[in-house]
Amino acid sequence: MTSHPVRTPQSTDERRRGLTEEDAARRLAEYGRNEVATRRTVRLHTRVVAQLRDPLIMVLLGAVALTVAIGDHADSVVIALVIVVNTTVGVIQEVRADNAVAALSAMSAPNARVLRGGCEREVPAAEVVPGDVLALGEGDIVPADALLTQASALLLDESMLTGESVPVDKDLRSGRPGAATLSAGTVVVRGRGIATVTATGAASALGRIAALLEGRLEATPLQRRLAALGRVLAVATLALCLLVFALGLIRGLAPGTMAVTAISLAVAAVPESLPAVVTLALALGARRMAARHAVVRRLPAVETLGSVTVLATDKTGTLTEGRMVVERVWTPEGAVDFTGAGYEPFGDVRVDGRAAEPAELGPVQKLLTTAALCNDAALRPPDEPSDGTGSRWTALGDPTEAALLTAAAKAHCEEPSTLHQTYPRTDEAPFDSLRKRMSTLHGTPTGQLMVCLKGAPEAVLDPAVLDESAQLLDRAQDEAALLAAQGYRVLAVACGERTEAPTRAADAESGLRLLGLAAINDPPKPAAAATLAACRAAGITPVLITGDHPATAWAIATRVGLLSPDSEPGEVVTGQSLAAGTVDDLTAVRVFARTDPQQKLDIVEAWRDRGDVTAMTGDGVNDGPALRQADIGVAMGRRGTEVARQSADLVLTDDELSTVVAAVEEGRRVYDNIRRFLVYGLAGGTAEILVMLLGPLLGLSLPLRAGQILWINLLTHGLTGVAMGAEPVSPRAMHRPPRPPQQHVLGHGLWQRVLFLAAVVTMASLAAGLSARAVDAAWQSVLFLSLLAAQLGVVMGLRDRLLTRENLFLPAAVLASAGLAMAALYVPFLRSVLETQPLGGTEVAVAAAVGLAGFAAARLSRQPWLRRLVVKQ
């Protein structure tokens, strides 16, 4: 849907009466429905073809064709099943990820109140058109972008679009930018308003964010690495098998025999169980993450987490509680601090680190009682006991006012219901952006009137409002400035009594007594600092990106250790600076404030352009594009919007950033297991090729037959190989830097280890075969058993935790494979099919010794000094 210039009603009559039904119908036809346009559906066969284009899958498809050609239907069925499972999982994950744009439509209000022909009526939000006059009240969702024409104490929650943790006051008289503009999807927290629609559908704020979500999902680092590996394996396997075929012909062997042998060798050389190992490792990782409160939406994201080098996090609800809390109260008599979290009315009042004495609570109780009376919020208790697993106390109304009620409960003030009965409200002057204060009048038991006032310090600490000495006002202003510099939202509270009833509450805002200041904040979560420290220990760079005020962002960043305590607020870069182009290197900045969705995208892209793997956390609509663009998007499950959850790869059901660290550990576990399988699988495949190439040069005319090669491949790459995907995490996993994003999957010495193990397995197996031939034993069967035993020894030797009980599936699979290897020698049917011969005790002992050699070589390859040596080479 394209945007058009909008003609909004200009005359007073138009604003009063709204559009006619005929005009609304005409505009609906012209501009279209007020819905976010969805992308054209991708056909199922297109998705399937895209999955099958993966180079490794193409190699497996070739292996299916080859196994069918040689009549090995069992292997062809197994390989084909791996392809089907892998493709099905990939298609399902793609479909689920593409639901992000559809979720944006659900964010629009299902219905809206509009003026049509002078009458207020309710219409579906999809039928709102540019020029419609909206009637907005508390709890309404703004259905479209609009321009405010009337407002009464209107307060909007714009956090889902801007990231601003504090509701925004909307007032026509304010000169503040954006004070008269409303955005689609925002929520009316308090007050009433009349507004004229300026943009709908794709032209609205939600529509513009939807356009940013249209980018195509890119391959994860693991997918890119495995694709590169698949191309290398395809070329190398084809070349080596042609070489084996040619050498056999040169030696005078039958072309048919060598063709079957070369095809079998091709199947054995390709680790066709790699997709199964990857899928199992990812699925097990996803299951373990779910148990640790992290739900994976895209399976490859499990591994991607293990490669993350940059964690871009938002503030509200991620690093912080997402709930306003009064942390400090200053009165002319002194200051007190409050403990506790969220809106739960439980906590202590402390003075200089100790519990406050009852006598010290008097001034604080007077201030908070006044703030509770000059208050329109309410606290709602949990639906069930607040034991950490059930629901929590929640705020109804302005979160700042709710925080004052919570503090009043902690200071043992009277219940709000009792206060309002004792001091009934007779009039009020609501807060607005010009006055920056709110006042209420209350009757008292003595028959007098009490004036309660709260507001911004600059609007309250005024001689025209307060009847206080200049010295006290200066002290209060200095304290307010100090608290504001620390990132607090500061409110000043005052009260007074009147013997004569003023006509309006606003007329009573003079000659009042200052009660003190309340410092309100969205405090950091208790585990936030430790979580960020764990990220650094794991080599991950944390970056804060928020839509909140720069001072607030700086205060939180210093408290959680993102910035050093001696840092300056100027280290925080604002969205305005980004828009002006004054920031040369976005990757040099650690804290961003007042950012918009496009700027979040730019920050993520800057890190990705530098070659980093990025993880982005978020919970709002404004986070959707960056969550989708990042290598791994992490959404909050409890307080997050549906758009954020659908755009993300990972959803945190507990909204705890520490869960991301646990997920990173699982991701590294998965990647380590995949690399461990590659060492094992490629070393075994290389050894089999080397045996077939070198054996004839040593007098072993046809070292292994086609059926024997495929049997070895089935036992080593089957259950045994797949079981490696369930190996436990290394104790060193979170104390090493992530893999460099540009590093090949066989990098960091892996291919050298493959060659080392392949060489040991080849030499030990050939030595066993040659020794058997020297004593006129069944040398081909000895070579067959030795080669298989060596690979089983390697798989056990590669374990990070040798005697762990966490993955008993692996030793069980090794024992089962060993049993089937012996069955190939002693079961008549298998002996006939595989063309083997029974072996005596001595020959079996030789094969077992070769298995121990493979085990020893694998343990040796794990030694740090040898690994450093091969990496240098």
Q: Give the separation between CA 282 and CA 584, rounded to whole angstroms.
A: 39
Active-site annotation holds for 314: yes
Three-state SS for 160-198 is: HHHCCCCCEEECCCCCCCCCCEECCCCEEEEEEEEEEEE
CB 450 within 8 A of CB 495: yes
Q: How far apart are CA 669 and CA 674, in angstroms?
A: 9
**What residues contact 431, with CB distance under 8 A and at least 6 apart?**
153, 155, 169, 437, 438, 455
Q: Are 534 and 580 in contact (CB under 8 A)?
A: no
- 858 Cβ contact list (under 8 Å, min separation 6): 757, 793, 794, 795, 796, 797, 798
> What is d(CA 759, CA 753) in angstroms, rounded to the nearest whole number?
10
H/E stretch holding 357: none
CB 760 within 8 A of CB 818: no
Judge whether 611 and 634 are in contact, CB under 8 Å. Answer: no
C-alpha span between 787 and 784 (Å, rounded): 5
For the chain, the distance separating the N- and C-terminal CA atoms, rounded to the nearest angstrom, is 59
Phi then psi dihedrals of residue 257, to 5 deg: -60, -45
Q: If you search the block for the tokens 């849907």, which residue do you land on?
A: 1
- Per-residue DSSP letter, 777: S
Alpha carbon 58 to its chain's center = 32
165, 159 contact by CB (below 8 A): yes
How many whole angstroms separate alpha carbon 652 and alpha carbon 642? Answer: 13
Cβ atoms 741, 306 nearer than 8 A? no
Residue with tokens 């694998």: 858
* Encoded tokens for 621: 């609509």
Q: Three-class SS of residue 741?
A: coil
- Dmax (CA) for the chain in angstroms is 122
Q: Are 63 and 272 in contact (CB under 8 A)?
A: yes
Q: Which of 54, 145, 314, 612 is catalytic?
A: 314
Q: By 3-state DSSP, what share of the chain in percent is helix, strand and coil, each rounded to 5?
A: 50, 15, 35
Please, are residues 516 and 478 in contact by the beta-carbon 8 Å criterion? no
Phi, psi of 621 (to 5 degrees): -60, -35
CA distances from 23 to 117, 120, 126, 453, 795 (A): 10, 16, 16, 47, 75
φ, ψ for residue 795, nearest 5 deg: -65, -35
Q: How many CB atoms lie within 10 A of CB 322?
A: 21
Residues in the chain, total: 873
Determine the Cα–Cα distance for residues 270 and 229; give it in Å rounded to an integer: 11
- For residue 188, CA distances in Å to 137, 329, 410, 549 come to 6, 29, 29, 21
Residue 471, judged by CB atoms within 10 A of its CB (0-12, 13-18, 19+), counts as exposed
User: Among 672, 632, 540, which Cα is nearest to 305's?
Assistant: 632
What residues contact 316, with CB distance under 8 A and at least 6 apart? 159, 163, 165, 322, 522, 546, 548, 619
| H or E element at residue 458 | helix 457-460
Catalytic residue positions, numbered: 314
